[in-house]
């Protein structure tokens, strides 16, 4: 498709085309890990003549699809890419070479690639080939798009988001049928963005396996944590495929019911449940983004939360406020959550209106 804009001054529409790149990149939400999401457009005489995005690790990069789409029109055109073009042989050949071969005259880049094997060598390579290069257009937007990828590249650790739902009077909505289930659309979309989700085993007892309902969506690995449970963990209605996307972390005091054990769900027994061990496991499996979801038993998750705060392993907080007033104010989680909130320092809180709720996102 050809998208027209006024096509006049050089550089004037850089923001417009870069935002289009980000929009294209988002078509692969949840599908590219451990790779970043990247979008690319090729612009000639004020018209988009080629578009592409990176669909999945192992498949060609955004630039390759966009150049293919543009064909001969790429010659003397400007390429916009949300991430610096790669300059190495990974699963795929370097995009710098593809751009040079296509004879583009200019490349506009959203952000430099934090991957140490790329880190500005893509920019240098293009400049040496005589291509005009601009870096840092809509940089904040491009960084936000790949916050988990960037964090993982810079620190070697997974990006962890803490999520919970609250009533207007400050109660944690962590029980079955509360909070997120009323706003399935938002939650289902959120799940597909993460490589793994950590939940309490009490949810699983109620057959509540968090899965994304979006068609063809990425299903995160479901990390079930069980600490000092008096009854064994039971997982009954789960198929083979769902079982392969589950793992149980327990402590020595907790048992797993034989029916559950037979389903082929991986089980790891720790001396005590601790967030670092779970994150290490996720890292070994190449999982870059983790959602710590405060649903089910708060007691089971409080230890993990404390680990995250003490060890600085939480990066983001996402709080959903629902138009609900909880009458029963004897819940123990009210006090427990206050204790946790007191120790969280959240910056840059941004509100967003969802279907029936307000979602606040901030960084730690």
Catalytic residue among 10, 51, 63, 302: 63
Question: Nearest distance from residue 63's CB to Zn ion, in Å?
Answer: 6
Span near ligand AOF by CB under 6 A; candidates 35-43, 162-170, 231-239, 279-287: 35-43
Q: Is 125 in the site for ligand AOF (CB under 6 A)?
A: no
> Binding to Zn ion (CB under 5 A): which residues in 88-117?
95
Q: Is 38 in the site for Zn ion (CB under 5 A)?
A: no
Q: Is 86 in the site for ligand AOF (CB under 6 A)?
A: yes
Which residues, 6 or more positions from 54, have their beta carbon under 8 angstroms from its beta carbon? 25, 28, 32, 35, 36, 37, 38, 39, 60, 61, 62, 65
Q: Is 113 in the site for ligand AOF (CB under 6 A)?
A: yes
- Residue 109 or 243: which CB sits closer to ligand AOF? 109
- Residue 99 or 222: which CB sits closer to ligand AOF? 99
Question: Nearest distance from residue 278's CB to ligand AOF, in Å?
Answer: 24
Among Zn ion, ligand AOF, none, the one that 62 touches (CB under a kind-dependent 5 to 8 A) is ligand AOF
- Residue 63 or 320: which CB sits closer to ligand AOF? 63
- Residue 97 or 361: which CB sits closer to Zn ion? 97
Site residues, Zn ion (CB under 5 A): 61, 86, 95
Interface residues toward ligand AOF, by CB under 6 A: 35-36, 38, 54, 57, 61-63, 83, 85-86, 90-92, 95, 113, 115, 118
């Amino acid at each position: 498709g050809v998208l027209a804009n006024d096509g006049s001054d050089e550089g004037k529409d850089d923001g417009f085309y870069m935002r289009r790149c980000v929009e294209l990149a988002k078509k692969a939400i949840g599908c590219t890990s451990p790779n970043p999401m990247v979008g690319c457009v090729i612009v000639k005489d004020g018209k988009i003549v080629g578009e592409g995005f990176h669909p999945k690790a192992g498949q060609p990069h955004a630039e390759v699809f966009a150049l293919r789409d543009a064909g001969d029109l790429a010659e003397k055109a400007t390429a916009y890419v949300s991430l610096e073009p790669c300059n190495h042989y990974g699963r795929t050949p370097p995009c710098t070479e593809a751009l040079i071969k296509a004879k583009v005259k200019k490349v506009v880049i959203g952000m430099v690639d934090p991957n140490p094997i790329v880190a500005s060598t893509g920019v240098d390579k293009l400049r040496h080939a005589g291509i005009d290069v601009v870096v840092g257009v809509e940089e904040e937007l491009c960084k936000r798009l790949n916050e988990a990828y960037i964090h993982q590249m810079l620190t070697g650790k997974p990006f962890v988001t803490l999520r919970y739902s609250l009533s207007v009077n400050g109660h944690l909505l962590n029980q079955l049928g509360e909070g997120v289930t009323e706003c399935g659309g938002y939650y289902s979309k959120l799940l597909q963005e993460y490589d793994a989700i950590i939940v309490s085993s009490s949810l699983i007892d109620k057959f509540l396996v968090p899965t994304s309902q979006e068609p063809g969506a990425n299903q995160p690995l479901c990390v079930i944590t069980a600490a000092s449970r008096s009854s064994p963990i039971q997982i009954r209605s789960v198929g083979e495929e769902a079982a392969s996307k589950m793992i149980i972390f327990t402590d020595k005091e907790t048992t797993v019911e034989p029916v559950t054990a037979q389903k082929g769900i991986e089980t790891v027994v720790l001396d005590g449940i601790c967030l670092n061990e779970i994150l290490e496991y996720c890292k070994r499996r190449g999982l870059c983004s983790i959602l710590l979801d405060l649903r089910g038993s708060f007691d089971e998750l409080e230890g993990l939360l404390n680990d995250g705060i003490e060890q600085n392993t939480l990066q983001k907080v996402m709080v959903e406020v629902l138009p609900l007033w909880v009458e029963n104010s004897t819940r123990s989680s009210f006090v427990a959550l206050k204790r946790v909130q007191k120790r969280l320092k959240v910056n840059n809180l941004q509100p967003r209106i969802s279907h029936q709720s307000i979602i606040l996102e901030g960084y730690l």
